[in-house]
Structure 1
């Protein structure tokens, strides 16, 4: 798999029927290793190791309904009070991060109401803070570390 723009992490792999799987510490199971999954697993480790978010507050690949359509978000991080703190959209490294990707996460966030958004393809990372009053997002240099 391609080297990503994240710190180096160690992962557990398994090979089954000529398919490589990677262990997801949040879902507590092996998942087939695809380029987007490689990015998602790095992002999870980044949130846990660098940003100190507790695993218990992180949710991965759950379904939500947006405009009567069933969608799946990549990563959501909750606040201890149960409100959604951060939504992350992961793309494969070959996917360019463009307005379409930001529109996608913005649509998800109409339902989720997260304070922060992160979009990454493993190479480029974009961080935003929601400005609900003015219905826009403000780009940030980074997302904040976990605050108890």
Structure 2
């Protein structure tokens, strides 16, 4: 299990047309506040505040092609202009399973990041893929780290 302690952050939340919205500091836009989005926003603040990953190197919810399929990843961190870490966020009530990990491993066939992580906000599993085999890691690397 990977250790993550969320930093305090004053999220900007608004209600419009009976729906809640949260301001995404990375995308610089209001997005619908869903249970998965709440997890994504907390992980983003952890990456920005605790790990000090530059916002300019983080992509959120972008489409990728997996063969004929089109999928969207949750978070992708770049390093030296290459994908470095991919993070899949799930709602808190979704248990992390082998299928969840397989999903991000499938995304990583195309992306080829050195690190992958799945989280449901309370449980986090991160892996280093340095030698092509997912090795569990206890903590996310610093951006200055290499594998």
TM-score interval for Structure 1 and Structure 2 normalised by the shorter chain:
over 0.9
Root mean square deviation, CA, Å: 1.5
Cα distance between partner residues in 2 of 1:68 and 1:37:
27
- Indicate the structure whose relative CO is greater, using CA pairs within 8 Å and at least 6 residues apart: 2
Q: Which structure 2 residues correspond to residues 18-97 of structure 1 after superposition, within 5 A? A: 18-79=18-79, 81-97=80-96
Q: Does 2:142 correspond to 1:145?
A: yes
Task: Give the ranges of 4+ consecutive aligned residues of structure 1 lying more than 4 Å apart after TM superposition.
Answer: none
TM-score normalised over the length of structure 2: 0.92
TM-score normalised over the length of structure 1: 0.91
Cα distance between partner residues in 2 of 1:127 and 1:48:
17
Q: CA deviation at 1:8?
A: 2.8
Cα distance between partner residues in 1 of 2:92 and 2:83:
26
1:127 — aligned with what? Answer: 126
Cα distance between partner residues in 1 of 2:103 and 2:41:
20
Cα distance between partner residues in 2 of 1:76 and 1:126:
16
Cα distance between partner residues in 2 of 1:94 and 1:11:
22
Q: CA deviation at 1:20?
A: 0.7
Q: CA deviation at 1:5?
A: 6.0
Cα distance between partner residues in 2 of 1:59 and 1:112:
13
Q: Report the 3-state secondary structure (helix = DSSP H, G, I; strand = E; otherwise coil) of the residue aligned with 1:131.
A: coil
Q: How many residues align?
A: 142
Structure 1 residues 83-141: Cα deviation after superposition (integer angstroms, max 9, x where no partner): 11100000000000000010000000000000011110001011100034xx3200000
